[in-house]
Structure 1
């Protein structure tokens, strides 16, 4: 989405108006989910090509807070089989904490947030930006239109198009899984089976 004008003194933004077009032109409406993932990958590659502006929250800060809460969270997961992927996610996150990255992840680029457009630079809506590693952006493209048989193929496509180090991207993707699991635990809900399965599929 473009920002034609802004006024810093009043914090006023003039944003581009986007019309919701034919659903078949959204990634969510593409019959081939693999094609939809490549659309997301190309958009993420463009969005994360520049450093984030100063002052944004960092995934590293979020990860530190999550890791401190892991013992508390594990004590509230009754099934030992579910505790293992949570532990594995935490272990992967610890490995990348020293290098949180400096790009501009969208953070919520699922298939409905890449708007159909005639422009070459397809707009992305509803960002929740951070300053960090692009790997923190991959999970929505893995769990939208979820297919367990496609998780690794999608992960390979995303990391290939974005040119990411696979192990770092894996760790930051597992950070998102850990974050989602923590939210479920905090709200007193069972852990989401899709999130747990993605965590298991991305384990080494």
Structure 2
């Protein structure tokens, strides 16, 4: 598929404190430079400023100013690789300021739309995932194995300090085992494909009569990796049902979906503790994923 092995060990070296201090100035400069009129601010998570804008020709667009971090390095590459049928067009970009001007996706409701039945959301996501992973991966996209190695080293280094909290939550062994499996699971002999990298329900938006993805953190690797946030975050039915249904719809192994769900939730517990959260919800989710491996 023309995939070059690219390391995940790349970063901007930017300080989050410095970026927070200068982001509004950067926004004003970008709006002026690209002749954009600002509109409503959109939810961009903790790693970006995102807002609706109007271009000089009167057409709508979305401006995204990202905090320089390793996961976002390939965002524009990913969007362009997925193509305009599956993702918004990149209208302009500035690699130096991590600015992207993107096509608006309308109406832009996500898979968490309360009017969308859970089974319909699963079917839409599965069909989209199949089309995304069929796209040719461009050069410059990090490998899943490289990303998991990076995450694993960080999680292992945090374990000693987090052990008392993990024992209190009752998931110390599950987290330890999950982190230990990150690298080996990514190294399994599975045909590599282009991954979205953050295929959660809020990143799948209705576009006309179809669906498109936003905010990719692209990787190249096992297609089952992508499905954890989707089946974990969609409401309704049981986790076992959602995993089984997604396996049927995508043709992927339910066992691999569960394996990735387990190790990624273990990593999620570690990250939650690092961020100063109590991690109760993440620990409960980890026990739920672990239960799927027991039968």
TM-score greater than 0.5 by the shorter chain:
yes
Q: Report the Cα distance in structure 2 between the residues aligned to 1:135 and 1:3, rounded to whole angstroms.
A: 26
Question: Does 2:196 align with 1:109?
Answer: no
2:175–2:267 Cα contact (<8 Å) kept: no
Return the alpha-carbon distance in structure 2 between the equivalents of residues 48 and 114 of structure 1: 15
Match of 2:131 among 33, 41, 46: 46
In the alignment, structure 1 residue 61 sits paired with structure 2 residue 146 = yes
- Asked if residue 17 in structure 1 is aligned to residue 104 in structure 2, the reply is yes
1-side partners of 2:234 and 2:292: how far apart? Answer: 17
Matched, 1:177 2:265: yes
**Structure 2 stretches lacking a partner, 5+ long:** 1-86
Structure 2-normalised TM-score?
0.56
Confirm whether residue 98 of structure 1 aligns to residue 187 of structure 2: yes
TM-score (norm 1): 0.77
State the structure with bigger RCO (CA 8 A, min sep 6), 1 or 2.
1
| C-alpha spacing 1:80/1:184, structure 2 compared with 1 (3 Å) | closer
Residues 1:128 and 2:217 aligned together: yes
SS at match of 1:87: helix
- 1:27 is aligned to 111
Inter-partner Cα distance in structure 1 for 2:127 and 2:187: 27
Which portions of structure 1, spanning 4 or more consecutive aligned residues, are displaced by more than 6 angstroms?
A: 4-8, 10-14
Mapped to 2, the partners of 1:54 and 1:171 lie a distance apart of 28
The question of whether the paired residues in 2 share the 8 Å contact of 1:108 and 1:127 is answered with yes
Bigger radius of gyration, 1 or 2? 2
C-alpha deviations, 1:108-153, integer Å up to 9, x for none? 2222322223344x21122221112121211222222445x51111
Matched, 1:70 2:156: yes
Equivalent-residue separation in structure 2 for 1:98 and 1:7 (angstroms):
33
SS at structure 2 position matched to 1:116: strand
Aligned residue pairs total 199
* Separation (CA, whole Å) in 2 of partners of 1:18 and 1:162: 25
Deviation at 1:13, TM superposition (A): 7.4
Partner residue in 1 for 2:255: 167
CA RMSD of superposed structures (Å) = 3.3
CA distance in 1, matches of 2:152, 2:278: 20
Flag structure 1 segments of 5+ consecutive residues without an equivalent.
none
* Structure 1 pair 3–72 and aligned structure 2 pair: CA distance change class (3 A): closer
Contact 2:178 2:262 in 1 (8 A): yes
Are the equivalent residues in 2 in contact too, given 1:90–1:175 (CA < 8 A)? yes
